[in-house]
């Protein structure tokens, strides 16, 4: 019954994920042939540092001299790219692979977010698959759900918690009353944050994922320009405490929605009601919520990262290719993807949390409220907390809904005040 | 670019779901051709009562004289079966369709649970698709997730809330303090319960879904024999109130798990901790939780039923066929499906909630505890609540873990007691 042609795989990049995947593919050969009704083999591997200790015994004959050889070898059918980064060798490898009619499986969100449209065109032209389930929220099968299970739906909004590292840090700050840097160190020591976690913390990692999901959800091209991105690196323990007192949790949220044919994309920390589903996504979990017609709301939740969850995603892509499922990277032909209008969030209305830490002098509160009122910003709630020393005060304000541009303008004006002791904090409130 | 051969669809059964699907397919013709890169048409429809008012205008030429003609007409490629029921016309239609090499899409969980293995064999032999995403938790794309997104995983447990009607009733009883029959009437008036909701209330609907998911999760055949099934029809308002006092919610749970190569399947109302994820799945929502290696835990949540969610599922199956994706109904060839050992739950250990309503006489409590102790059942917590009349008492007991057979035996012994004023209640506690 099993088809006789063997499908040969090359894995390029043998970090935590590549190593785990290699072991999985070797160990589960029978399982893979049962599920795909075909035979497969990891024929080649390649990694920057061949002599690095990997707890892996890979036969010498499997090592490629040069990683790019994988794209030229006639025996290779699938290249799994696990190098990472939008440029350099990853880019070179994937472009060359698709041009040489190799199927590509990748976990590289930066590459797909930046060059996904170009790569998809080449894949389509050459009739090969470009699969990237592992690039977005590892254990959450969101790409396949959009392309298969939820394909019937006209999607109006897709949002959620897409970064396990950030979410772990926010959860630790909240539950263990830690400062940002201590929570980050804890994440590092547990293997939940890389030694250089900047793209996790500044929101860029989430932004890449959101751009990919936006294109898939709205049948548009990827838009790298019109997206508002903030990370969690300015959130501190006091903000988390204040949020709790106000009945909220702070989450790094990614939201993409379409209204009147205009798409907005945003990634930012925000306050969400404690009772909301999102507020209860803790630790390294990821969650994606899809609002569509006719289905209503669908939620998918799972491990966001790590070698295990990522391997689950990579193997689902590999099996899809082994089974001979020809799929377009963005579901529809390049020519049918829409040039949709994207809008900045400046006209979008938000209620917001402001925190202004000031010297405790007469007239300060009146000046703050005057500044807000000049910018047409009205106050829903205000709490003044004196510092222990009593020389300073922390003023916490919840605003009524106002245009994002006005909120930003107000923060800008407040930040010029001489009575400030640190930059004002501004975190949007999301009603979800 | 679009392939020229048109794919013709016949819809058999035009109740709420069939009518909604018909309208969807007519209205979204362009969308379907964009997503599938092919053309499709609803060529025929059929329904028991042709003259029934449906708020649909279907051209006369589309009506089949006899529903079974759909299986014989050379022009038809896909038959959508929406008749329902494991026997009668639905069975006749689907068997005939697959034998005549028609692709079949169905929402019929009873049929698939009972004849799915036989049907899958015919579909495999004739190289056509038999798709049933809509048979299990409509808006939750669980079948495709098991067959695609999560395919890499060795699944150890799959469980969740699979019945919107039951869950709506339990939620209403809890939040609105309603009696069972009032909650049921409310569900009926809102369209969440059918006029004859017996299979929703006695657990059979959930059991069908669980059997299908078990087969997919463990690569086994469907097992209709070894499954323990109870519905929510014995749960009353007092049980819900007691559960709340003890820190629990009552949910109708379906659980299938494999331990040491033995599978157990069970459907029963149970107490789950208030803080658990499952306890917070309210109303008509469905949720499926999958535990697998390497992925860890994945959760998918969505609308459980209704024409909208079901149409989302049906169309995902139709599009899969339009795109030419040849898929085996249970993912792997019939011959590779495993004859797995299934076990009854009698040896499984549970902690349980017992409620014994008794005449308030001396010696009763001592007799109850003696009966329990004889059956090696020990008590973790006991609360005696006098009735308002003071003539009767309701004794609520939380037991320590014990074999299910012993719990049942104890309940049987207690039910013989003359001091009882109604049958004892026994609801398992699930640690999830």
What is the chain B residue with the closest CA to A338? B34
Same domain, B112 and B163: no
* Closest CB from A145, A152, A300 relative to B315: A152
* Residues of B with Cβ-Cβ distance to A149 under 8 angstroms: 133, 141, 143-145, 148-149, 313, 316
- Give A108-149 pLDDT, tens digit per residue: 999 999 999 999 999 999 999 999 999 999 889 999 999 999
Is the Cβ pair A311, B144 closer than 8 Å? no
B324 in any annotated domain: no
Structural domains counted in chain B: 3
* CATH number reported for the structural domain that contains residue B233 in this entry: 3.30.360.10
Q: Determine which of A23, A34, A141 to mutate to test the interface with B (most B C-beta atoms within 10 Å).
A: A141
* Closest CB from A37, A149, A294 relative to B333: A37
Same domain, B171 and B296: yes
* Residue B331 and residue B133 in contact, taking contact as beta carbons nearer than 8 Å: no
| Backbone dihedral angles phi then psi of residue B199, each to the nearest 5 degrees | -70, -25
Same domain, A363 and A223: no
The overall average pLDDT reported for chain B is 95
B311 in any annotated domain: no
- The shortest C-alpha distance from A230 to chain B (Å) reads 28
- The shortest C-alpha distance from A153 to chain B (Å) reads 6
Residue whose C-alpha is closest to residue B138's, from A153, A325, A214: A153
* CATH number reported for the structural domain that contains residue A94 in this entry: 3.40.50.720
- State the pLDDT at residue A4: 57
* Residues of A with Cβ-Cβ distance to B292 under 8 angstroms: 312
**What range does the domain containing B405 cover?**
346-430
Q: Determine which of A144, A148, A284 to mutate to test the interface with B (most B C-beta atoms within 10 Å).
A: A148
Is the Cβ pair B35, A335 closer than 8 Å? no
* Residues of A with Cβ-Cβ distance to B278 under 8 angstroms: none
What is the chain B residue with the closest CA to A281? B277
What is the chain B residue with the closest CA to A309? B295
Enter the tokens of residue A125: 């032209």
- State the pLDDT at residue B264: 97
Pairwise CA distance, residues B177 & B183, whole Å = 9
What is the chain B residue with the closest CA to A131? B149
Among the listed residues B209, B249, B251, B409, the single catalytic one is: B209
Catalogue the long-range contacts made by B92-100 (C-beta closer than 8 Å, 24 or more residues apart).
B92/B68, B93/B12, B93/B67, B93/B68, B94/B119, B94/B130, B95/B119, B95/B122, B96/B68, B96/B71, B97/B70, B97/B71, B98/B122, B98/B123, B98/B126, B98/B128, B98/B130, B99/B71, B99/B126, B100/B71, B100/B72
Same domain, B198 and B284: yes
Pairwise CA distance, residues A138 & B179, whole Å = 44
* Residues of A with Cβ-Cβ distance to B302 under 8 angstroms: 295-299
- Give B358-400 pLDDT, tens digit per residue: 998 889 999 999 999 999 999 999 999 888 887 899 999 999 9
A333 in any annotated domain: no
Pairwise CA distance, residues A67 & A71, whole Å = 8
Is the Cβ pair A302, B292 closer than 8 Å? no
Q: Which of B135, B164, B196 is the last residue of a domain?
A: B135
- State the pLDDT at residue B223: 97
Pairwise CA distance, residues B369 & B385, whole Å = 16
- State the pLDDT at residue B4: 57
* Residues of B with Cβ-Cβ distance to A35 under 8 angstroms: 151, 331-332
- The shortest C-alpha distance from B63 to chain A (Å) reads 25
Same domain, B147 and B128: no
Is the Cβ pair A296, B309 closer than 8 Å? yes
* Residues of B with Cβ-Cβ distance to A141 under 8 angstroms: 145, 148-150, 298
Same domain, B128 and B161: no
Same domain, B288 and B163: yes
* Residues of A with Cβ-Cβ distance to B219 under 8 angstroms: 34
* CATH number reported for the structural domain that contains residue B401 in this entry: 3.30.70.260
Predicted complex ipTM: 0.91
* Residue A43 and residue A70 in contact, taking contact as beta carbons nearer than 8 Å: no
Is the Cβ pair B139, A301 closer than 8 Å? no
What is the chain B residue with the closest CA to A335? B1
* Closest CB from B280, B295, B336 relative to A303: B295
Place of tokens 């303090």: B177
Q: What percent of chain A lies above the pLDDT cut of 70?
A: 99
Pairwise CA distance, residues A80 & B153, whole Å = 19
- State the pLDDT at residue A194: 83
B285 in any annotated domain: yes
What is the band of B193 on the pLDDT scale with cuts at 50, 70, 90? confident
- The shortest C-alpha distance from A20 to chain B (Å) reads 10
Our answer to whether residue A209 is catalytic in this structure is yes
* B114 has a pLDDT exceeding 80: yes
Residue whose C-alpha is closest to residue A367's, from A427, A424, A302, A418: A418
* Closest CB from B24, B148, B313 relative to A316: B148
- The shortest C-alpha distance from B34 to chain A (Å) reads 7
Place of tokens 């060529």: B43
Q: Which of B103, B135, B167 is the last residue of a domain?
A: B135
Is the Cβ pair A152, B309 closer than 8 Å? no
A317 in any annotated domain: no
SS3 A75: coil
A318 in any annotated domain: no
What is the chain A residue with the closest CA to B20? A294
- State the pLDDT at residue A304: 85
Is the Cβ pair A145, B150 closer than 8 Å? no
* Residues of A with Cβ-Cβ distance to B303 under 8 angstroms: 295-298
* B56 has a pLDDT exceeding 90: no
- The shortest C-alpha distance from A341 to chain B (Å) reads 19
Enter the tokens of residue A92: 């070179």
Q: Which of A135, A169, A198 is the last residue of a domain?
A: A135
* Residues of B with Cβ-Cβ distance to A295 under 8 angstroms: 138-139, 302-303, 308-309, 312
What is the band of B2 on the pLDDT scale with cuts at 50, 70, 90? low
Same domain, A129 and A150: no
* Residue B402 and residue B411 in contact, taking contact as beta carbons nearer than 8 Å: no
Same domain, B236 and B126: no
Is the Cβ pair A308, B296 closer than 8 Å? yes
* Residues of A with Cβ-Cβ distance to B312 under 8 angstroms: 150, 152-153, 292, 294-295
SS3 A192: coil
- The shortest C-alpha distance from B387 to chain A (Å) reads 35
Residue whose C-alpha is closest to residue B79's, from B360, B379, B374, B317: B317
Is the Cβ pair B312, A35 closer than 8 Å? no
The angle formed by the CA atoms of residues A122, B317 and B165, to the nearest 5 degrees, is 135
Same domain, B164 and B114: no
SS3 content of chain A, % helix, strand, coil (to 5): 40, 25, 35
* Residue B215 and residue B222 in contact, taking contact as beta carbons nearer than 8 Å: yes
Among the listed residues A102, A121, A209, A249, the single catalytic one is: A209
B88 in any annotated domain: yes
- State the pLDDT at residue A3: 59
Is the Cβ pair B336, A153 closer than 8 Å? no
- State the pLDDT at residue A2: 57
A88 in any annotated domain: yes
Is the Cβ pair B295, A315 closer than 8 Å? no
Same domain, B59 and B150: no
* Residues of A with Cβ-Cβ distance to B293 under 8 angstroms: 308
Q: What percent of chain B lies above the pLDDT cut of 90?
A: 90
Same domain, A165 and A274: yes
Enumerate residue ranges in chain A where pLDDT < 70: 1-4
Is the Cβ pair B24, A336 closer than 8 Å? no
- State the pLDDT at residue B107: 96
Q: Determine which of B9, B121, B151 to mutate to test the interface with A (most A C-beta atoms within 10 Å).
A: B151
Is the Cβ pair A307, B294 closer than 8 Å? yes
């Amino acid at each position: 019954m099993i088809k006789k042609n063997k499908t040969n795989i090359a894995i390029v990049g043998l970090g935590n994920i590549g190593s785990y995947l290699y072991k999985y593919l070797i160990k589960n050969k029978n399982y893979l042939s049962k599920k795909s009704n075909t035979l497969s083999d990891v024929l080649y591997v390649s990694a920057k540092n061949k002599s690095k200790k990997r707890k892996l015994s890979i036969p010498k004959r499997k090592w490629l001299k040069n990683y790019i050889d994988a794209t030229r070898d006639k025996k290779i059918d699938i290249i799994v790219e696990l190098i990472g980064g939008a440029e350099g060798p990853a880019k070179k490898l994937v472009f060359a692979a698709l041009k040489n009619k190799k199927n590509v499986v990748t976990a590289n969100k930066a590459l797909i977010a930046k060059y996904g449209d170009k790569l998809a065109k080449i894949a389509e032209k050459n009739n090969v698959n470009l699969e990237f389930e592992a690039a977005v929220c590892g254990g959450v099968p969101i790409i396949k759900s959009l392309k298969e299970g939820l394909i019937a739906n006209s999607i109006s909004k897709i949002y959620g918690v897409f970064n396990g590292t950030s979410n772990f840090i926010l959860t630790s700050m909240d539950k263990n009353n830690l400062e940002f840097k201590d929570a980050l160190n804890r994440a590092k020591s547990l293997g939940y944050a890389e030694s250089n976690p900047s793209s996790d913390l500044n929101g860029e990692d989430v932004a890449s994922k959101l751009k990919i999901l936006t294109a898939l959800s709205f049948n548009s091209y990827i838009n790298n320009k019109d997206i508002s991105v903030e990370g969690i690196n300015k959130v501190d323990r006091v903000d988390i405490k204040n949020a709790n007192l106000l009945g909220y949790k702070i989450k790094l949220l990614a939201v993409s929605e379409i209204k009147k044919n205009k798409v907005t994309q945003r990634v930012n920390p925000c306050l969400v009601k404690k009772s909301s589903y999102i507020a209860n996504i803790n630790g390294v979990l990821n969650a994606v919520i899809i609002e569509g017609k006719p289905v209503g709301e669908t939620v998918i939740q799972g491990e966001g990262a790590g070698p295990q969850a990522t391997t689950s995603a990579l193997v689902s892509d590999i099996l899809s290719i082994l089974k001979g499922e020809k799929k377009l990277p963005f579901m529809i032909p390049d020519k049918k993807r829409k040039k949709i209008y994207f809008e900045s969030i400046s006209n979008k209305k938000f209620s917001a949390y402001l925190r202004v830490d000031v010297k405790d002098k007469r007239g300060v509160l009146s000046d703050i409220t005057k500044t807000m009122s000049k910018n047409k910003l009205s106050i829903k709630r205000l709490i003044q907390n004196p510092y222990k020393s009593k020389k300073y005060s922390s003023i916490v304000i919840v605003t009524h809904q106002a245009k994002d541009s006005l909120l930003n303008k107000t923060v800008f004006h407040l930040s010029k005040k001489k009575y400030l002791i640190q930059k004002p904090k501004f975190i949007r409130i999301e009603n979800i």
